[in-house]
Amino acid sequence: MQRLGLQRDLEEAAARERRRQRELQRQSRIFNARLRTIGVDKDALDRQVKEKKVEAAAEKARNEELANESKQLDKLMCLLEEQQKKEIRNINKAVSEFQKSFQKPETRREFDLSDPQALRKDRPARLSDSDPRCTVSGLQKFMGEDLNYEQRVKFQKEQLREWSLQQQRDWKNALADQKLADYLYDKNRIELDQKTMEQQRKEEESRRAVCAAIKDFNRTQASEMAARMDLEKQQKTKDDMDEISNLLRGDLLSENPEQAVSSFGRHRVIPDRWKGMSRDQLLAIRDCQQQQVLQNLRLKEEEHQRDAEWDRQCLQAARAELLLERQQQRRSRECRRALDSINAELSREQRAKNTYLKEEEYSNVPTEQYYAQFNTTSR
């Protein structure tokens, strides 16, 4: 039993020590004005600051590493650029040597345009009159400037004399041919005139025979047409008389109302046969119109009575509304007076209470001993 009591005492002492330690920790947190006013977990903030610094250091190290890599890449690019420039210089040098060795200016196609020895190497403008370079567009040789001018003039004179003699011979032959052609033309024209006169005489005779036959035919046709027109006139006169008699005996002029009835029903008519309504139909229409007028007058009278009743009800409703509004105003004034009296009573009580609190309750001033009793425990 003593052993159990001792163990229980130890457990209670340990529990009291734990409570005391928790109380001390609680007091350190509560009585720490900085932690209490900040209102956040300062340890967590410190950890975040440390993490930020670690991240900044890592970022700085990574940036430095990237900077070193970029420097190495720049050096490598400079080396490659120098190598490329060297290769380009070598290629240009090889091209220049190739041009000097295999593409000399005198081997070019257009070298003759810029050859300094072109005038010494060039041939004269004209070697002879038959030089193929002396073309018309070259303007190297004009008429009368050939080398064999005298022989050419002599040959031209002989040629002109031969041309003149030939023209005279041709002129004489042409005159003889013209005379022969005129003689043959006149002979053929006389023969053609004779043939034409003979043909015209035959055509005139045949035309006279045709005209005589046409006259006989037209005379026969005219007599037949006159007989036919007489028959048609008689037939037309007979048809007109039959039509007049049919009209006089028919339903159109006799104004039979049954002829205007449509095949779709007796309530419908045929417009081109309808002669108008009968007296009974007109009287029925007038009676119907009179009934419609009386009905309209009755409807108007009923509407007038309905409007008068509606105006009377509106007037009564307006009067009732006015009375209700006045009654509501009276009640509002009474309620306002009652509320004003209650507010005045409450105001007097409030002033009295404030005076009592100011003069009686709050007359004592707190001392240092009063404030020293606070913050002694964490509870």
Residue 91 lies in a domain: yes
Residue 31 lies in a domain: yes
Residue 236 lies in a domain: no
Residue 65 lies in a domain: yes
Residue 89 lies in a domain: yes
Residue 218 lies in a domain: no
pTM of structure: 0.24
Distances (CA, A) of 265 to 256, 262, 274, 277: 17, 6, 14, 16
Residue 328 lies in a domain: no
Q: What is the pLDDT of residue 36?
A: 64
- Number of structural domains found in the chain: 1
Q: What is the pLDDT of residue 3?
A: 62
List per-residue pLDDT tens for the chain, 379 residues long.
556 667 788 888 898 898 888 888 877 777 766 666 665 666 777 888 889 999 999 999 999 999 999 899 999 999 999 999 999 999 999 998 888 888 787 777 777 777 788 777 777 666 766 777 777 666 666 676 667 778 888 888 898 989 989 999 899 998 988 888 888 888 888 888 888 888 888 888 888 888 888 888 888 888 888 888 888 888 888 888 888 877 666 655 656 666 666 667 666 776 766 666 777 878 888 899 999 999 999 999 999 999 999 998 999 989 999 999 999 999 999 999 999 999 999 999 998 888 888 777 777 767 777 777 776 665 6
Residue 66 lies in a domain: yes
* Phi, psi for residue 124 in degrees, rounded to 5: -65, 165
Q: What is the pLDDT of residue 4?
A: 63
Nearest partner of 271 among 253, 259, 254, 286, judged by Cα: 259
Q: What is the pLDDT of residue 9?
A: 82
Structural domain harbouring 41: 2-97
